[in-house]
């Protein structure tokens, strides 16, 4: 899944993508800009991890959700 597919699939903003990836909004903006930069592997991995979590959210036990989402 590329960044555009993630963006469309989950209807997220560029700011939300930046938060998920742990990078700046400016960095994400370069992925959508022209000329377009390809995201580094670590950022694509974080998007893939979030995609998996969101896909399986209803199947994740509540105890694990609490541990994953606690602040």
CA distance to 50, 53, 56, 64, per residue, from 59 (Å): 14, 10, 5, 10
| Count of structural domains, the chain | 1
**Where in the sequence is the domain holding 53, given as residue range(s)?**
3-69
Task: Give the model's pLDDT for residue 22.
Answer: 98
pLDDT tens per residue, range 22-63: 999 999 999 999 999 999 999 999 999 999 999 999 999 999
For the entire predicted model, the pTM comes to: 0.86
pLDDT at 5 over 90: yes
């Amino acid at each position: 899944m590329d960044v555009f597919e993630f963006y469309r699939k989950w209807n997220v903003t560029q700011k939300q993508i930046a938060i998920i990836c742990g990078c700046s909004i400016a960095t994400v903006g370069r992925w959508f800009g022209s000329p377009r930069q390809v995201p580094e592997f670590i950022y694509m991995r974080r998007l893939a991890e979030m995609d998996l979590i969101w896909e399986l959210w209803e199947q994740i036990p509540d105890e694990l959700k609490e541990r994953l989402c606690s602040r």
